Structure 1
Amino acid sequence: MAQKRNLYPGIHNDRYGGMTDAGLIIRDAWVFEILPETETCEGWDYGRLENLYGQVSEAWEPYGHLVSNLPPELRERHERIHSEGLRKAREAGWKPDHSGED
C-alpha cells in the first residue's frame, strides 16, 4: 500500500503565520528572487523544500548570511518581505517564543 507523502501546506497556511523554518526559507527565496513572491510552495514535498534551502543558503554565502552585508536593493526587499511576514504572523496570533522552541 502506498503511503501518503507529507506535503507542505504553503506559507499562508503554515503554523504561526509562516514563522517556521520553511516559511523563513521561502521568504528568503523571495528576497533573492529564487522564487517569485507569488509562489507559496503549497503542495511541495519536504525534499523540494530542502533543495530550496540549499539554493537560499548559497545565495546568502557572498553576504556572510548577514542582512547588514546585503546591498541596498536586497536589504530593502528583505526588510519589506520579512516585515510583512511578521505583521501577518502577529495578526494571526503568533508571539515570539524566547525559549527557542518555535
Structure 2
Amino acid sequence: MNKKPDRYVGIHNDLNGGMTTIGKIIRDAWLFGLIPETETCENWNLAGIDALLQKVNAEWDKYGCLVSRLPPELAERHHQLYEAAMAKARAAGWSGETETDDED
C-alpha cells in the first residue's frame, strides 16, 4: 500500500510542471505577495499549505474570485505568472486536459 507523502515536493518538482492544485495556490500566493517567489513550499506539511490556501482565498475574495476584477498591476502579474507556468508545464507534457476531463 502506497503511503501518501506528508510533505509537499515543491512547485518546481510537482507533477504537470506545477499545474496542480497546490501549484496554483503557490502561484496565487506569489501574486498577492503572501510569500516571496523564491519560496517553492518544498517540504511544507499539508497544514502549512492549507494555511496558505486560507490566505490566498481571503485575497481572492477581495476581487470576487475573478481575474477580471484584479487591479491592472495584479492582473498583469497574474498573466505573467500563469503564462510562464503554462509554458513550462506544456514543455513537461501537460496539456490542460485533466482540468477539463469532467466538463463533457
> Normalising by the residue count of structure 1, what TM-score does the alignment of the two structures yield?
0.91
Q: Render the CA deviation track for 1:46-95: whole Å, top value 9, x for unaligned.
A: 11000000000001111000000000010011000111110100011111
Aligned pair 1:16/2:11, yes or no?
no
Partner residue in 1 for 2:71: 71
Gaps of 5+ in 2: none
Gaps of 5+ in 1: none
How far is the alpha carbon of 1:16 from its aligned partner?
0.6
1:26-41 matches, within 5 Å, as 26-41=26-41
Number of paired residues?
98
Deviating 4+ runs (over 2 angstroms): none
In 2, distance between residues paired with 1:33 and 1:89? 23
1:49-88 matches, within 5 Å, as 49-88=49-88
> Normalising by the residue count of structure 2, what TM-score does the alignment of the two structures yield?
0.89
